[in-house]
Amino acid sequence: MKRLLTLLCGLVALTSSVSAQDPDTIMERARISATLTKLDDGLTGNLTAGRNKVPIQIYLKGENIQFQFSENGKWRIFHMRLSDNKYDLFEIINGKTVNFPRNKLTERIAGTDLTYEDLALRFFYWPNPKLEGEERVGTEECYKIRLSKPAGDAGNYYAVYVWVHKKFGAFMKIEGYGKNGEKLKEFQVEDVMKVADNVWTLRKMQVATYQGGRRQSITDMKLDKPSASALKGLR
């Protein structure tokens, strides 16, 4: 945790201190720290669930997010387009952009604990966030934000809690809950990395699936520093 705090200090130049307790401002800072608005190259990495290792590539810039993962030796490519309170997810198949079925957003990616909505962090863009107070994640002081599912939106989550570092604005933990208030998923940031001058992002995160109040399975998400082989922009 001490190493993580030291690394988070680099976020100061990118996301200024979140001093005002305005939930919209807090979530905007969290989105900036998660979407690499100053990074030209994509990121490569792996999702690891037991013996299952799934290569992934992510390119995030402003209101456009592209990610792809390898399944059965073949890359599947997705593009999420954001605008106001709308977020559309597409799959690119044989060079053509096709709407991704809403009922598949909750499917697990290649047998891991992450779903399509998880990897794209769609819930970060839900409107009207509410400040629940302040709590510590480990030794770090955070704002606790509640996000509520908009009417008619797809996905398993009906409420999502996000713990955002008070000083640096980066998210530290996420918990997703179902319709009846049961805990479904937990995201725990374990490490961050510097990818450019004054630009830091997630390096390692653990994602756990819960059922009946108990943790059922775990997937580790680990990203590497940008390289020439990473994505070079939206297709």
pLDDT tens-digit series, residues 138-161: 888 999 999 999 988 888 999 999
The residues spanned by each domain of the chain are: 2-223
pLDDT of residue 160: 97
CA 191 from centroid of its chain's CA atoms: 14
* Residue 12, pLDDT above cutoff 70: no
Residues 136 and 125 sit within 8 Å (Cβ to Cβ): no
- Going by the DSSP 8-state scheme, the letter that residue 226 receives in this structure is P
pLDDT of residue 105: 83
Q: List the CATH code of the domain at 2-223.
A: 2.50.20.10
CA distance 158 to 184: 10
Q: Is the pTM of this model over 0.85?
A: no
Start-to-end C-alpha separation, the chain: 38
CA distance 70 to 85: 30
Residues 89 and 77 sit within 8 Å (Cβ to Cβ): no
CA distance 47 to 167: 29
CA distance 72 to 169: 38
pLDDT of residue 23: 92
CA distance 152 to 174: 22
